């Protein structure tokens, strides 16, 4: 049985100055009408500059929203 019980923190060999992890919080895009975070993307376009345009629809109220992911 090959368990992956290895501690992830023990596997990091980063520079000492970069040793501490930084917590980043991503905020979910929400529907402007009903504030639901339940958006379903039906089309994603690459803008060619490391950003994405995601055409989505709110699952709860059907509002179409366009999400730009940078
Ligand atoms: Zn909605």
pLDDT for the residue numbered 41:
96
**2 has a pLDDT exceeding 80:** no
**4 has a pLDDT exceeding 60:** no
Distance, CA 14 to ligand 1 centroid (Å)?
Answer: 43
Distance separating alpha carbons of residues 12 and 32, to the nearest angstrom: 41
Q: Which residues of 20-54 are buried (b: 16+ CB within 10 A; e: fewer)?
A: eeeeeeeeeeebeeeeeeebeeeeeeeeeeeeeeb
pLDDT for the residue numbered 1:
55
Distance, CA 31 to ligand 1 centroid (Å)?
Answer: 5
Indicate yes or no: pTM above 0.75: no
- pLDDT one-digit tens code per residue, 10-59: 555 555 677 899 999 988 999 999 999 999 999 999 999 999 999 999 99
**69 has a pLDDT exceeding 60:** yes
Distance, CA 30 to ligand 1 centroid (Å)?
Answer: 8
């Amino acid at each position: 049985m090959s368990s992956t019980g290895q501690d992830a923190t023990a596997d990091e060999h980063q520079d000492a100055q970069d040793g501490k992890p930084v917590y980043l919080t991503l905020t979910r895009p929400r529907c402007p009408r009903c504030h639901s975070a339940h958006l379903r993307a039906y089309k994603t376009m690459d803008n060619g500059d490391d950003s994405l345009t995601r055409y989505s629809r709110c699952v709860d109220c059907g509002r179409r929203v366009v999400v730009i992911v940078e």
